[in-house]
């Protein structure tokens, strides 16, 4: 246990190890089962990796990169890099060789951790362009004949020998890391232009973890986290240092296809997720209810309306009357408890971040007794700056600021933030840094929002994404997209368009799972989504949903026309980021012909 308050991430890690050495730190998949690591066992592996890096010549603030999916070795490598005095740069496993080469070159990475032979091949293809890259440490795989690739097990073996020959050096290194030293270099996913390297210091993570602990968001009896999100994202880094401060165990498995199975096995008390997951669960629940026949569909509609009425009454500070309370209890027994069982049965709340969560989706889950604690932050702010509190959640907001964060709204509504875990700047980009950080140290987020009397922040849209029609009216596309997806379970993605146009239109994609069920019940079994997208009855189905959306909108914001695309927008095609944010400029350029076609003739009145 550290004698003083931790000043850097290695000290935060060692303090946790000292406080609870035998407590469970991590749980991870091994074969068909799960294996645990105590904090002391975690420290032994981190020590070996850190010492192995030192044995390979890694020095203070040099960059080591991790190119891997979410798994226990990712976490161990990250802490090993930091405990060696180096800094971690992150790369999404879906990145192309060119993207990997750019990040490794721009960051000056000296050693890269790669998950397997597939990821190693990406790096080898760019080797001639990366003179600083000395070695690749492979998590699953063999050494290369030329010694450039070494297995993780060998690095750890070298590290144990190096550490044994230099007692106390590991601890001395941790104690010597300056709070303002570089800890993490995360490259923005780049919805526009080349990604920028966001520099985050040790003190940023230490101070943020302290604020999360003070806020008490994660403090509840016997907490257990299930984590599957990409660790290359700042969201994952944030929850990792919060774990060091608070001390809860985390089960780790990044395989998306195993989420439902893992929730049943782990029975977590909280889970971090992104809105896309909630949208998919919402669509599945709605689809199952509809496909269960008229009686089941009617029961679900009654239960949902009852749940919504009950939840809104409680949120308004009123006590539900006997009739409503009894109806809610019956709805819970017949419907809601079955939905909650999907999450393991012990879930206290989800934490939602990375992108806006639509109010309709949040209210849907709240009606069923599934609490979603929405937060807010950017990579440039080490992820979290705001978060709703489990005992004081306001749906539609991202909560109040965490202790230590100052918030100011610019005259145009842009959210400005200042605090101890705002980035120190973009790597080697002084002009862009000056644009993002003003002279007073406030980060210009690019998001537009409102703050209520209690400090709760509501995000209305991205400043750059706001649509201004040719009639001079402003439309927030994210809000409309979320509303339409909440109404239409058959839709997977929605891109609202209309900047400098005379009305609003949309590109939409169909959800493959939902449309498979629709096709089976409407005389088109086995048809591909691309074929279904051309059917007049599918267009009519989407039109009904659009009409429902428009009924609640002012006339200038109504979606007058839409086009159904033949496939989902994908990361592989460069249309969405790894965290599933729309790359609007890419999409609008790629589908320019479809967009222009919707404006050739005036829409029907």
- d(C-alpha 363, C-alpha 367), whole Å: 6
Contact 248, 218 (CB under 8 A): yes
**451 within a domain of the structure (yes/no):** no
Residue 471 lies in a domain: yes
The reply to whether 554 falls in a domain is yes
CA–CA distance, 481 with 485 (Å, rounded to integer)? 6
Lowest-confidence segment of 412-421, 469-478, 523-532 by average pLDDT: 469-478
Cβ-Cβ contacts under 8 Å for 588 (sequence gap 6 or more): 495, 497, 595
Beta strands in 267-403 (DSSP E): 270-273, 349-352, 372-378, 383-387
Note whether residue 121 is domain-resident: yes
Decide if 448 is inside a domain: no
Specify the number of domains making up the chain: 2
Query: Does residue 53 sit within a domain?
Result: yes
In a domain, 15, yes or no: yes
Q: Which of 160, 177, 194 is the last residue of a domain?
A: 177
Backbone φ and ψ of 437, nearest 5°: -115, 120
527-583 confidence digits (pLDDT tens)? 999 999 999 999 999 999 999 999 988 888 899 999 999 999 998 888 988 777 888
% of the chain exceeding 70 in pLDDT: 98
- Please give the span between the terminal C-alpha atoms of the chain, in angstroms, as a whole number: 71
State the DSSP string of 418-480: E-TTS-SEETT-HHHHHHHB-TTS-EEEEEEEEE-TT--EEEEEETTT-EE-TTS-EE-HHHH
Give the CATH number for residue 114.
3.40.50.12780
- pLDDT tens, 96-148? 899 999 999 999 999 999 999 999 999 999 999 999 999 999 999 999 999 99
pLDDT in tens, 481-490: 988 998 888 9
Do residues 376 and 457 lie in contact, with contact meaning Cβ atoms separated by under 8 Å? yes
Q: With DSSP H G I counted as helix, E B as strand and the rest as coil, what are the percentages for the chain, rounded to 5?
A: 40, 20, 35
* CB-based contact 383:237 (threshold 8 Å): yes
Whether residue 605 is predicted with pLDDT greater than 60 in this model: the reply is no
Report the CATH number that the domain containing residue 591 is assigned in CATH: 3.30.300.30
Runs of H (alpha helix) within 67-186: 72-83, 97-107, 117-124, 152-165, 169-176
Domain assignment present for residue 96? The answer is yes
Q: pLDDT band for 30, please (50, 70, 90 cuts).
A: very high
Domain boundary among 148, 177, 206: 177
Query: Do 102 and 96 touch, CB atoms closer than 8 A?
Result: no
Q: Which of 120, 143, 177 marks a domain boundary?
A: 177
Q: Which of 519, 525, 514 is nearest to 487 (CA)?
A: 514
Q: Name the residue range of residue 550's domain.
A: 467-597
pLDDT, mean of residues 267-289: 88
Give bridge partners of residue 406 from the DSSP assignment: 418
What's the pLDDT at 191?
47
Look-up: residue for tokens 């009123």? 318
Pair type for strands 425-426 and 414-418: unpaired
C-beta separation of 188 from 195 below 8 A: yes
């Amino acid at each position: 246990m550290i004698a003083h308050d931790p000043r850097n991430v290695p000290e935060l890690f060692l303090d946790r190890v000292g406080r609870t050495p035998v407590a469970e730190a991590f749980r991870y998949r091994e074969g068909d089962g799960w294996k645990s690591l105590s904090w002391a066992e975690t420290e032994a592996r981190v020590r070996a990796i850190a010492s192995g890096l030192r044995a390979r010549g890694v020095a203070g603030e040099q960059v080591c990169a991790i190119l891997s999916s979410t798994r226990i070795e990712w976490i161990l490598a990250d802490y090993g890099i930091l405990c060696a005095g180096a800094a971690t740069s992150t790369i999404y496993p879906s990145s192309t060789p060119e993207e990997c080469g750019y990040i490794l070159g721009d960051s000056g990475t000296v050693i890269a951790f790669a998950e397997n032979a597939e990821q190693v091949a990406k790096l080898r293809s760019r080797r001639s362009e990366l003179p600083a890259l000395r070695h690749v440490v492979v998590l699953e795989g063999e050494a290369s004949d030329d010694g450039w690739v070494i297995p993780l097990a060998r690095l750890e073996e070298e590290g144990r020998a190096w550490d044994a020959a230099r007692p106390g050096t590991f601890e001395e290194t941790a104690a010597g890391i300056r709070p303002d030293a570089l800890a993490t270099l995360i490259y923005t996913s780049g919805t526009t232009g080349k990604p920028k390297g966001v520099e985050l210091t040790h003190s940023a993570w230490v101070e943020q973890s302290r604020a999360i602990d003070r806020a008490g968001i994660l403090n509840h009896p016997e907490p257990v986290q299930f984590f599957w999100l990409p660790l290359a994202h700042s969201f994952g880094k944030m929850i990792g240092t919060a774990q060091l401060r608070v001390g809860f165990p985390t089960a780790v498995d990044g395989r998306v296809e195993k989420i439902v199975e893992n929730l049943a096995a782990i029975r977590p008390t909280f889970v971090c997720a992104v809105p896309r997951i909630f949208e998919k669960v919402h669509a599945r629940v709605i689809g199952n209810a509809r496909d269960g026949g008229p009686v089941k569909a009617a029961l679900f509609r009654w239960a949902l309306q009852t749940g919504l009425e009950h939840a809104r009454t409680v949120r308004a500070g009123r006590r539900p009357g006997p009739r409503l309370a009894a109806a809610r209890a019956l709805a819970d027994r017949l419907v809601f408890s079955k939905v909650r069982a999907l999450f393991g049965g012990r879930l206290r709340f989800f934490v939602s971040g990375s992108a806006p969560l639509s109010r309709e989706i949040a209210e849907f889950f709240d009606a069923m007794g599934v609490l979603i604690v929405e937060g807010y932050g950017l990579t440039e702010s080490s992820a979290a700056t705001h978060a709703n509190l489990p005992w004081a959640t306001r749906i539609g907001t991202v909560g109040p600021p965490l202790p230590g964060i100052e918030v100011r709204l610019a005259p145009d509504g842009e959210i400005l933030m200042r605090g101890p875990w705002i980035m120190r700047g973009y790597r080697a980009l002084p002009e862009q840094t000056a644009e993002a950080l003003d002279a007073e140290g406030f980060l210009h987020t690019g998001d537009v929002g409102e703050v209520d009397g209690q400090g709760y922040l509501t995000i209305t849209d991205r400043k750059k994404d706001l649509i201004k029609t040719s009639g001079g009216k402003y439309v927030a596309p994210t809000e409309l997209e979320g509303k339409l997806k909440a109404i239409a379970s058959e839709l997977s993605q929605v891109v609202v368009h209309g900047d400098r146009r005379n009305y609003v239109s949309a590109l939409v994609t169909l959800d493959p799972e939902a449309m498979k069920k629709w096709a089976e019940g409407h005389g088109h079994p086995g048809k591909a989504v691309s074929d279904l997208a051309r059917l007049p009855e599918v267009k009519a189905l989407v039109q009904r949903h659009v009409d429902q959306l428009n009924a609640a909108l002012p006339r200038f914001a109504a979606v007058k026309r839409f086009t159904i695309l033949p496939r989902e927008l994908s990361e592989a095609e460069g249309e969405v980021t790894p965290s599933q944010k729309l790359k609007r400029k890419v999409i609008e350029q790629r589908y320019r012909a479809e967009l222009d076609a919707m404006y050739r003739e005036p829409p029907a009145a």
